[in-house]
Structure 1
């Protein structure tokens, strides 16, 4: 109930201020488990995706967003919880596996789980190499992966900016990728790498970003 209220109000405000261009919503299944794999340019990507998708979206967020003190901390905790965020301690040794386990549980329940294969925000607008956690989720759950290409959010809240700005946003949802068959002949690690590279290539076609060709060293393991 709270999610529906927050999403409805926030979506109206967001559409009024930013007039986002949203393409390919029909590619998201109306029911059943689905993984949304998106590029990551800004903090506000985690707000844009849940507001654009008609289904409830679960995504990972740093535990710090849920543990801040005072009024600001309570507002942050309430907002992220209402938007479907799941706290994870990215600084712990088991943080990556914990994140993947959370995702698998949400998918097993038939939900929508969003993940950034790059691991964290791009520091320069390029598309970095994907970590194989997205493939682990897809190959284990058999859920389809819908690639998501976001452009424009890097201008709304650049890294280091304290307040959001007004800028045009485009969110494109690509054709679902099915990894449930055709990968059994590959060894597990190789299958994850091949599937992840396919996901990243699909994201790149949606965004037109230059490929960095390397991992984002600032990223967590998932």
Structure 2
């Protein structure tokens, strides 16, 4: 009930009024049966706009920390994520990715719609990065079709690190459903999973018009952050050395 009120009575109409969404290809989304929405990931707001623009309930997973905040802000975040169909998953430890996939697989086996970001993290610079094969495993295990969804300008509306989004028309493009049932007998084959994932990423590249980079976004983020961490560790030593002469 709360989900229905938030999406169709409170938040949905307000966001549509403010951001005047330009959503194309929405008719490609099947009206029933299990569906995976495979989205590029540009902004925190991707998980807000995507579910609100689809008539069916869309389930994303989010880190459990979003549901454990204190005070009024923490309560509001819990209510928002619960109301938009987001499920908390503990992302600490080595089994985090598997827990997220199992949660989405349960949604799909019940005939629902699961949202996933194949890149695994937000793009650090707006480009499209190599997809992780979890989306392929979901498709093969559930038999769901995959609908690629290109978020076209959410990085302009809410750049990484900003809290308040800019009021601009949000643009999204839904692609044709991708049916991978021809690979049903190849579950667990990592070469097939990579081929499926690459096909999905190619569709996202075509729909979004973003440059594709064949490396994982998380690896790039690590390489960017590592020098900063090293500098923070070595700076005090350098200062001490200069003071001692």
**TM-score past 0.5 threshold:** yes
For residues 161-190 of structure 1, give each alpha carbon's deviation from its aligned partner in whole angstroms, at most 9, with x where no partner exists.
121111221111100000111464697101
**1:202 and 2:189 matched:** no
For residues 22-43 of structure 1, give each alpha carbon's deviation from its aligned partner in whole angstroms, at most 9, with x where no partner exists.
0111111111110000000000
Per the alignment, in what secondary structure is the counterpart of residue 61 of structure 2?
strand
Check conservation: 2:140, 2:183, Cα contact below 8 A: no
For residues 124-150 of structure 1, give each alpha carbon's deviation from its aligned partner in whole angstroms, at most 9, with x where no partner exists.
000000000000000111100000001
**Whose helix fraction is larger, Structure 1's or Structure 2's?**
2
**1:181 and 2:182 matched:** yes
**1:211 and 2:212 matched:** yes
Per the alignment, in what secondary structure is the counterpart of residue 114 of structure 1?
strand
TM-score, normalization by structure 1? 0.95
Check conservation: 2:137, 2:187, Cα contact below 8 A: no
Q: Which residue of 1 aligns with 2:128?
A: 127
For residues 218 and 85 of structure 1, do their structure 2 counterparts lie closer, same or farther at Cα, with a shift above 3 Å needed?
A: farther
For residues 185 and 79 of structure 1, do their structure 2 counterparts lie closer, same or farther at Cα, with a shift above 3 Å needed?
A: closer
For residues 186 and 104 of structure 1, do their structure 2 counterparts lie closer, same or farther at Cα, with a shift above 3 Å needed?
A: closer
The whole-number CA distance in structure 1 between the counterparts of 2:155 and 2:16 is 17
Q: Which residue of 2 aligns with 1:85?
A: 86
**1:44 and 2:45 matched:** yes
Per the alignment, in what secondary structure is the counterpart of residue 61 of structure 1?
strand
In structure 2, list runs of 5 or more residues that go unmatched: 221-245
Q: Which residue of 2 aligns with 1:72?
A: 73
In structure 1, list runs of 5 or more residues that go unmatched: none
For residues 19 and 218 of structure 1, do their structure 2 counterparts lie closer, same or farther at Cα, with a shift above 3 Å needed?
A: farther
| Rg larger in structure | 2
Per the alignment, in what secondary structure is the counterpart of residue 217 of structure 1?
helix
The whole-number CA distance in structure 2 between the counterparts of 1:185 and 1:145 is 17
Check conservation: 2:140, 2:187, Cα contact below 8 A: no
Q: Which residue of 2 aligns with 1:4?
A: 4
Check conservation: 1:62, 1:87, Cα contact below 8 A: yes
Check conservation: 1:183, 1:191, Cα contact below 8 A: no
The whole-number CA distance in structure 2 between the counterparts of 1:77 and 1:59 is 14
For residues 130 and 17 of structure 1, do their structure 2 counterparts lie closer, same or farther at Cα, with a shift above 3 Å needed?
A: same
Per the alignment, in what secondary structure is the counterpart of residue 87 of structure 1?
strand
Check conservation: 1:174, 1:206, Cα contact below 8 A: yes
Q: Which residue of 2 aligns with 1:191?
A: 192
For residues 51 and 185 of structure 1, do their structure 2 counterparts lie closer, same or farther at Cα, with a shift above 3 Å needed?
A: closer
Per the alignment, in what secondary structure is the counterpart of residue 205 of structure 1?
helix
The whole-number CA distance in structure 2 between the counterparts of 1:185 and 1:119 is 23
TM-score, normalization by structure 2? 0.86
